[in-house]
């Protein structure tokens, strides 16, 4: 049982908690009432706000829609006004641009092309929207006038600024490939850069908007003229330079000329000049004493103008290649790509035709020269043909894309030159064989015949043109003529291209043929002399000249390709003629030979008369080769002095007459001195 005090305390505690709970409950109740009131107030406010928003929306939406419509209307009005302004502007194009078009594009191409663009747009507008409008005719007419002015400006720019390339610059351009010391390339500026850009812009406009191709004809005609004149100017330069200084030259590279104004000799292709120099060397060494004549025109008398013409033509061919390459580079910037090949083909025709015509004239001149046996003129074909063949790969590259007729011009000329060259070689060999034995043409002193020097000189030319001459012979299938088997391995795919070894053998056989013909002719000519000794001296001089000429040049090596014993054979012929000559003295020495003694009075007198007669006659004979002359004199002097000395020793003291000086007129040394004066017209 709980004590009363604890129960009373517990009751009070419970009552206190209950009172507190009641107070809390009362507070919560009051709070809920306040919250409800606030909620009611908020709901009332929101309801009022919603009502007002609805009223505002109902008021603004119609206004917004109306404003939107007004903005659309305003935009339409602005667009309409802009279109009207644009359309109206087309009606003012003619008046706005007429002055510019009338004054032309010179000096203001950019502005002019801008005006042409406006006119073109006006034409397009009226054609699309108002084809019957008189304004269309106005702008069309203005457009045509503007186009014509641009065409005229194109022609004017090309005409005024296209300059002939100077010969000096061309020579620098040509020599640039071969000059290893030249560190800078020689470039050509056909048009100033600003002019070039204007020409390019006009060209593109005429193609794109002008629908015009006539300017391409204008272009190739102007540039064709400049190309042709440049090459002709180079040819004239050679003629003027050769007449004034003897050697055409090309100064140093342009940008160095002001600092180093030097002269650079032009490289002269192989011409006859080298062999002429050899001939002069032989003359200086006493090998060339010709006085006779032949029906062949002397080669050493050849006009130097032939060399000038040859050099000029060769350099003009090289100039054409270089200038044509440069022209194509210029053309590629100005002419549309699909018209470039055709335009270039037309552009180069005049210059190319000029070169080909001149080449055919050379062939024609060579043909006429062959008829009159002027083989010096024919020799001009050799360096030209060699150069054409060397240049052909560059020619072919330059002419890529041109018409077949254009590409075939050079091969046609090469074939013509090979044909006439082969004709010249064969005719020369025949003329050497058939040169007539005219007594009045024979050298009175038995020296080298002109036929011999001409033949050797001609053959020496072939040393510089071995492959060219060999190809000439091969092109005419002369291998069969010379019995040289044609090995298929010695030919390439081209019927006119042979191995260098085959060409060398073919040329060697030809040279041996000429030398054989010459030897036969000389034997025939020697019979014109009544004196066998003079005939022997004549053959000796000619054989010796041939041998020494072969040895001093490379001809002996070329001959040895097919004739190994040629040198030995000539030496044997020379010795035979010396022996024949020496027999002429037997009629002198026989008078005092022991077998004919002791009848020495008539013998001595006969010896004296014979000695005097031979010395008088043979003094006028000639042996140009000093070495051979001394050798023959010494040999003859030894024989005669020994015979005469033996006679005097045995019979000189015999008293066979009261006047011994009448019979024994000369001492041994005197006889030797007389023989020493043989072959010497100055003694």
> Which of 22-26, 422-426, 516-520, 632-636 comes out lowest in average pLDDT?
22-26
Report which secondary-structure segment, H or E, holds 263. Answer: strand 263-265
- The DSSP string of 125-178 is HHHHH-TT-HHHHHHHHHHHHHHHHHHHHHHHHHHHH--PPPHHHHHHHHHTTT
Angstrom CA distances, 399 to 179, 189, 663, stand at 25, 22, 90
Tell how far CA 462 is from the center of its chain. 22
Which of these, 654, 652, 632, lies nearest to 644 by C-alpha position? 652
- pLDDT for the residue numbered 658: 56
Bridge partners, residue 250, by sequence: 264
- pLDDT for the residue numbered 654: 61
- The DSSP string of 625-683 is -HHHHHHHHHHHHHHHHHHHHHHHHHHTTS---S-HHHH----HHHHHHHHHTTT-TT-
633-650 pLDDT, tens digit per residue, is 999 999 999 988 888 887
pLDDT band (50, 70, 90) for residue 230? very high
- How far apart CA 580 and CA 536 sit, in angstroms, is 6
Report the relative pairing of strands 263-265 and 249-251 from DSSP bridges: antiparallel
Which residue is it, tokens 């699309």? 128
Statement: residue 17 has pLDDT above 50 = yes
Asked if 471 and 496 count as a contact pair (C-beta separation under 8 A), the reply is: yes
CA gyration radius, the chain: 55
Statement: residue 120 has pLDDT above 60 = yes
C-alpha count within 13 angstroms, C-beta hemisphere, residue 617: 15
- Please indicate whether residue 260 or residue 26 has the higher confidence score (pLDDT): 26
In the numeric block, which tokens belong to residue 59?
A: 């008021």
Q: Is the pTM of this model over 0.85?
A: no
252-278 pLDDT, tens digit per residue, is 333 333 333 333 444 444 444 444 454
Statement: residue 347 has pLDDT above 70 = yes
Which of these, 531, 481, 534, lies nearest to 509 by C-alpha position? 481
- Residues 55-75 have a mean pLDDT of 76
- pLDDT for the residue numbered 177: 55
Statement: residue 550 has pLDDT above 90 = yes
- How far apart CA 278 and CA 121 sit, in angstroms, is 79
In the numeric block, which tokens belong to residue 488?
A: 């298929």
Statement: residue 201 has pLDDT above 90 = yes
Report which secondary-structure segment, H or E, holds 65. Answer: helix 4-103
- How far apart CA 578 and CA 539 sit, in angstroms, is 9
- Residues 393-408 have a mean pLDDT of 94
In the numeric block, which tokens belong to residue 263?
A: 């002269």
Asked if 317 and 269 count as a contact pair (C-beta separation under 8 A), the reply is: no
> Which of 18-27, 259-268, 561-570 comes out lowest in average pLDDT?
259-268
pLDDT band (50, 70, 90) for residue 49? confident
- pLDDT for the residue numbered 598: 54
- How far apart CA 490 and CA 501 sit, in angstroms, is 8
What percentage of residues in the chain have a pLDDT greater than 90?
Answer: 48
Collapsing DSSP to helix, strand or coil, 149 comes out as: helix
Which residue is it, tokens 């002791």? 598
Which residue is it, tokens 């025949």? 430
Angstrom CA distances, 125 to 90, 122, 128, 205, stand at 8, 5, 5, 20
- Please indicate whether residue 503 or residue 299 has the higher confidence score (pLDDT): 503
Where helices occur in 162-213 by DSSP H, the ranges are 167-175, 193-208
- Please indicate whether residue 363 or residue 280 has the higher confidence score (pLDDT): 363
Which phi and psi angles does 249 have, rounded to 5°? Answer: -140, 165
Mean pLDDT, all residues of the chain:
82
- pLDDT for the residue numbered 264: 41
- pLDDT for the residue numbered 67: 75
- How far apart CA 210 and CA 187 sit, in angstroms, is 33
Asked if 498 and 536 count as a contact pair (C-beta separation under 8 A), the reply is: no
- pLDDT for the residue numbered 331: 95
pLDDT band (50, 70, 90) for residue 308? confident
- How far apart CA 515 and CA 324 sit, in angstroms, is 45
- How far apart CA 313 and CA 306 sit, in angstroms, is 10
- pLDDT for the residue numbered 247: 46
């Amino acid at each position: 049982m709980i004590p009363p005090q604890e129960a009373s305390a517990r009751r009070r505690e419970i009552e206190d908690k209950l009172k507190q709970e009641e107070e809390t409950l009362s507070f919560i109740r009051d709070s809920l009432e306040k919250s409800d009131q606030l909620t009611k107030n908020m709901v009332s406010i929101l309801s009022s706000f919603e009502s007002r928003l609805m009223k505002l929306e109902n008021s603004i939406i119609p206004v917004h829609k109306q404003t939107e419509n007004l903005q659309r209307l305003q935009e339409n009005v602005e667009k309409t006004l802009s279109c009207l302004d644009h359309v109206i502007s087309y009606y003012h194009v003619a008046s706005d641009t007429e002055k510019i078009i009338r004054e032309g594009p010179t000096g203001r191409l950019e502005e002019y092309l801008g005006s042409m663009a406006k006119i073109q747009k006006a034409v397009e507008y009226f054609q699309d929207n108002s084809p019957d409008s008189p304004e269309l005719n106005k702008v069309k007419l203005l457009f045509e006038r503007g186009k014509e002015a641009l065409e005229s400006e194109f022609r004017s720019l090309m005409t005024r600024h296209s300059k002939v390339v100077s010969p000096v610059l061309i020579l620098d351009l040509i020599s640039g490939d071969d000059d290893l010391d030249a560190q800078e390339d020689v470039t050509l500026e056909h048009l100033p850069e600003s002019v070039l850009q204007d020409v390019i812009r006009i060209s593109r406009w005429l193609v794109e908007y002008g629908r015009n191709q006539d300017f391409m004809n204008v272009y190739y005609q102007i540039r064709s003229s400049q190309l042709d004149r440049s090459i002709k100017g180079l040819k004239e330069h050679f003629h003027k330079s050769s007449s004034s200084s003897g050697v055409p030259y090309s100064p140093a590279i342009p940008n160095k000329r002001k600092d180093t104004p030097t002269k650079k000799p032009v490289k002269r292709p192989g011409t006859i000049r080298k062999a002429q120099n050899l001939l002069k060397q032989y003359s200086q060494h006493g090998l060339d004493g010709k006085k006779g004549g032949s029906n062949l025109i002397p080669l050493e008398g050849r006009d130097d103008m032939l060399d000038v013409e040859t050099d000029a033509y060769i350099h003009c061919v090289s100039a054409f290649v270089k200038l044509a390459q440069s022209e194509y580079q210029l053309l590629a910037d100005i002419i549309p790509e699909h018209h470039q090949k055709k335009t270039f083909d037309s552009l180069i025709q005049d210059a190319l035709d000029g070169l080909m015509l001149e080449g055919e004239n050379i062939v024609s001149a060579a043909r006429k020269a062959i008829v009159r046996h002027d083989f010096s003129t024919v020799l001009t074909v050799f360096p030209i043909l060699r150069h054409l063949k060397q240049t052909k790969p560059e020619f072919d590259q330059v002419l890529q894309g041109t018409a077949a007729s254009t590409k075939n011009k050079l091969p046609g000329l090469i074939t013509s030159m090979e044909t006439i060259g082969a004709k010249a070689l064969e005719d020369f060999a025949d003329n050497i064989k058939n040169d007539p034995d005219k007594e009045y043409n024979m050298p009175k002193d038995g020296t080298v015949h002109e036929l011999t020097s001409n033949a050797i000189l001609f053959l020496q030319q072939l040393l510089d043109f071995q492959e060219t001459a060999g190809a000439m012979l091969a092109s005419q299938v002369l291998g069969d003529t010379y019995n040289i088997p044609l090995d298929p391995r010695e030919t390439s795919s081209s019927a006119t291209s042979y191995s260098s070894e085959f060409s060398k053998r073919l040329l060697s056989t030809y040279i041996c043929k000429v030398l054989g013909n010459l030897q036969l002719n000389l034997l025939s000519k020697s019979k014109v002399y009544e004196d066998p000794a003079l005939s022997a001296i004549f053959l000796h001089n000619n054989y010796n000249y041939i041998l020494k000429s072969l040895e001093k040049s490379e001809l002996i090596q070329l001959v040895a390709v097919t004739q190994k014993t040629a040198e030995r054979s000539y030496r044997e012929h020379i010795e035979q003629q010396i022996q024949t000559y020496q027999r002429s003295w037997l009629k002198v020495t026989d008078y005092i030979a022991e077998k004919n003694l002791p009848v020495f009075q008539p013998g001595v007198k006969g010896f004296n008369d014979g000695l005097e007669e031979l010395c008088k006659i043979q003094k006028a004979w000639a042996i140009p080769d000093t070495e051979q002359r001394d050798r023959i004199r010494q040999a003859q002097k030894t024989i005669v002095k020994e015979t005469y000395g033996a006679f005097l020793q045995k019979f000189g003291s015999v008293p066979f007459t009261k006047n011994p000086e009448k019979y024994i007129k000369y001492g041994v040394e005197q006889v030797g001195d007389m023989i020493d004066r043989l072959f010497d017209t100055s003694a």
